[in-house]
Amino acid sequence: MQRIIMNLMLFILVLFSAEAANAALDVNPTTTAAGETVTASVTGTLAVPNGVTMILSLSFGDGSAVATSSTYTVPGTYTFTAVHSYRKIGTYTVTGTTTFIAAATPPPPIVETKTITVVDSIGEPPRGTVGKEYEYDLAATSSAKLSRYRKIRGQLPPGLVLEKYGRIVGIPTRKGKFVSTVQVVTRSGKKTIQTLTIFIDPGQLVVRVSPAEIDVGRGAGTRQKVTFTVVSPAVAVNETIRSTRGSFWPEVVFSAITTRLSIFL
């Protein structure tokens, strides 16, 4: 009789080992943006005699509550799925656990883990240049493209605008470092706050001068016409014209909106 009991226990343990080989964890995507939805699934097989049950659970590694399936009592293969969204960037471990419950002492739970990386949905925008077209898409993933973006504090570079679906477009008109705070609202209505920093480098101001030379030795009171034509950039950039002999009097301020300016010396 003792040998029969031992054989039965060995038979149950062998079946449990087979279940361990069938356990699986799937996480999609493994790289996502803060506030976006992550789907995780854990699969386990219950193939033991009556009296043994199985529970599947998922932990997303960020301190949120563990998602737990119902109790499975009928032999078969089951998949438990849960969705989650991370509010902070970082690297997290998703854990899928298959737990067997029996009157006798069951083997330890079957545990599978996968790593997920949560990135800032805004990321690091590229540098821009005064007077040159600028375009950048804040959406880090395809699902993030359906989120809505809104600047709530700070300043974008003058000449650039943030469109509601995350594109920053325009032509910068001033150099410098510009910091703003952007609110991202996902499709599910969850909100995250991101800091956006954009650097704008000085542009090249090209001005054509005609004539290239003037004779400053002419008689007193003689007026000579000099024409300045802005070649680039094609946006308004206020500049003051000065010569190597000192500033013109009065100082002349022009922009690319008025691309031609004539003064008399």
pLDDT tens figures, 144-166:
566 888 999 999 999 999 998 88
250 Rama sector, left if φ>0, alpha if ψ -120 to 50, beta otherwise: beta
Measured between its terminal Cα atoms, the distance across the chain in Å is 120
Task: Tell me, yes or no, whether 7 and 67 share the same domain.
Answer: yes
Mean pLDDT of the chain: 76
Q: Which of 92, 119, 146 is the last residue of a domain?
A: 119
Q: 216 is in which domain, residue-wise?
A: 206-264
Task: Give the count of domains, the chain.
Answer: 3
Task: Tell me, yes or no, whether 38 and 106 share the same domain.
Answer: yes
Task: Tell me, yes or no, whether 185 and 256 share the same domain.
Answer: no
Report, as ranges of residue numbers, the positions in the chain whose pLDDT lies below 50.
Answer: 1-21, 142, 246-265
CA distances from 219 to 125, 178, 224 (A): 57, 51, 11
How far apart CA 136 and CA 128 sit, in angstroms, is 10
CB 72 within 8 A of CB 78: yes
Q: Which of 78, 94, 119 is the last residue of a domain?
A: 119
How far apart CA 238 and CA 173 sit, in angstroms, is 9
Helix (H) / strand (E) containing 34 = none
Task: Tell me, yes or no, whether 139 and 191 share the same domain.
Answer: yes
Helix (H) / strand (E) containing 203 = none
Task: Tell me, yes or no, whether 231 and 191 share the same domain.
Answer: no
pTM attached to this predicted model = 0.47
CATH number of the domain to which 95 belongs: 2.60.40.10
Task: Tell me, yes or no, whether 224 and 177 share the same domain.
Answer: no
CB 179 within 8 A of CB 156: no
